[in-house]
Amino acid sequence: MQSQTNRNLIAAFLVVSAMALFGLIDNFIRLAAETGGLWQFHFLRSILALACIWAIARWRDIALRPNRAGRVLLRSALTSIAMVIYFGCLGFMPIAQVVAGLFTAPIFVVVFSVLFFGEKVGPRRTVAVAIGFAGAILAIRPEASAFTVWTILPVLAGAIYAMGNIATRRWCEGEGTFTLLGGFFLTMTVWGFLGVSFLAIHPLPVPEGGDGFMTRGWSPLEGIFLVMIIVQGIGSVLGVGLTIRAYQLAEAAFVAVFENMLLVFATLWAIILWGEWPDGLGLLGLLLILVAGITIALRAEAPPVEQAASVAE
């Protein structure tokens, strides 16, 4: 049985690796949104992801049937709704602003854990979460004049995503990583199908470029849109799988802080790919996020020893 300290370190490594991958592939959503549609993207990407999951599970003889289907379904619904909002915003909002909205997830994880589950969160972890969130605010520095109803959507995604993360740890213990992966992408397929079907029956006005990402119906499968469906389908299986495994190994409040690294990697890839350099305050914000993650990794309060979860591999 692994000690909780080792489990925490492994969880941190897994989620940071996932954030590095997501930071790269999510930078290209802005290009796919120019000609593609959000719902078609989710439908086709999720089908590809499900095919990968099924092939790997069959190859390694991994059972995909959940032990508690209702809990897995609820967890899948929460995380999939959050991701629908997240990807929809990526099509027409700056990636840093959208990711900053998701950065509210660690705050919501702590609040929900305390309010609904009576979890005790120590002072070091609380301060680290606050530092990480302050870093996100410095990196983004939203202005009141630029505030619109769309600004709230990424924050809403963060709140819903936080509940999904808590569900992974508290409601789905003992479920296999591939079972949770399959549930997530199956739910994403349903959302994509419903969206494509609705737009086929009731077409909506489609603005030019990325602004039309959420209301664009079925589009030709070509160019960067096709490439991104393939890249996101395969990359998401790996990234989401790593994240799920991390939440199974450690407390949600611990793992959630490391997801702040998504802003770091998204910004780094934006610099490399598009030459989008942050200014001085932006760099300070990124540094605070890194400090928060290191603080949690090295100085987190040791939780009570728990029996290692029996997770099917």
Helix (H) / strand (E) element for 203: namely none
Q: Which of 310, 217, 292, 304 is nearest to 12 (CA)?
A: 292
* pLDDT given for residue 14 in this prediction: 93
Q: Is residue 59 part of a domain?
A: yes
**What b/e sequence results for 38-48 when a residue is b if at least 16 CB atoms lie within 10 Å of its CB, and e otherwise?**
bbbbbbbbbbb
Q: Is residue 184 part of a domain?
A: yes
pTM: predicted TM-score of the whole model, two decimal places:
0.80
In which domain, by residue range, is 26 found? 4-299
* pLDDT given for residue 251 in this prediction: 81
* pLDDT given for residue 225 in this prediction: 92
Q: Is residue 168 part of a domain?
A: yes
Q: Is residue 282 part of a domain?
A: yes
CA–CA distance, 60 with 306 (Å, rounded to integer): 28
Q: Tell me: pLDDT of 8 over 80.
A: yes
Q: Is residue 305 part of a domain?
A: no
Q: Is residue 162 part of a domain?
A: yes
CA–CA distance, 260 with 231 (Å, rounded to integer): 23
CA–CA distance, 136 with 17 (Å, rounded to integer): 19
Q: Is residue 313 part of a domain?
A: no
The number of domains in the chain is: 1
* pLDDT given for residue 313 in this prediction: 30
Question: 312: pLDDT confidence band, cut at 50, 70 and 90?
Answer: very low
Q: Is residue 237 part of a domain?
A: yes
CA–CA distance, 128 with 63 (Å, rounded to integer): 38
- pLDDT of 68-110, one tens digit each? 999 999 999 999 999 999 998 888 777 777 877 777 777 787 7
- pLDDT of 221-240, one tens digit each? 988 999 999 998 899 889 88
* pLDDT given for residue 148 in this prediction: 62
